């Protein structure tokens, strides 16, 4: 019974409430530009255990916040064979030989 009373007293005590600050993407640390924001990922991974390699595909839904002439991805150790951009008006495909 004393534990219940103690817990109830602690709940009602005037302790300060602490909350995290509201998330603001622009002030979030990181090296990638903030002009384009990923909103949704769909990833398919196909491991080849014998060759110790992995193949797969990824679809990323992006929000373009500001006009830009580049899209920067965090893809260390990854080779991209083909990429395409599909927008409201057109679709563009790039191969691994293009930079």
pLDDT per position as a tens digit, 11-52: 666 656 677 888 787 888 888 888 888 899 999 999 999 999
**Domain annotation covers residue 9:** no
**Domain annotation covers residue 11:** no
**Domain annotation covers residue 4:** no
What the block records as the tokens of 47 is 């491991």
pTM tops 0.85, yes or no = no
Non-local (6+) Cβ contacts of 79 within 8 A are 96
Range of the domain at 33: 27-95
From CA 81, how far away is CA 47, in angstroms rounded? 16
**Domain annotation covers residue 79:** yes
Q: Which is more confident, 93 or 60?
A: 60
**Domain annotation covers residue 6:** no
Q: What is the pLDDT of residue 48?
A: 94
Q: What is the pLDDT of residue 23?
A: 78
**Domain annotation covers residue 75:** yes
**Domain annotation covers residue 20:** no
Nearest to 40 by CA among 19, 56, 62, 21: 62
Domains of the chain: total = 1
Q: What is the pLDDT of residue 40?
A: 92
**Domain annotation covers residue 10:** no
Strand partners, 45: 56
């Amino acid at each position: 019974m004393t534990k219940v009373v103690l817990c109830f007293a602690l709940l009602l005590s005037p302790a300060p409430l602490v909350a995290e600050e509201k998330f603001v993407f622009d002030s979030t640390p990181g090296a990638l530009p903030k002009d384009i924001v990923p909103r949704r990922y769909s990833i398919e991974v196909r491991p080849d255990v014998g060759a110790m390699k992995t193949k797969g595909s990824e679809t990323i839904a992006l929000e373009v916040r500001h006009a830009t002439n580049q899209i920067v991805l965090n893809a260390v150790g990854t080779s991209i064979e083909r990429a395409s951009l599909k927008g409201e008006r057109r679709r563009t495909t790039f191969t691994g030989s293009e930079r």
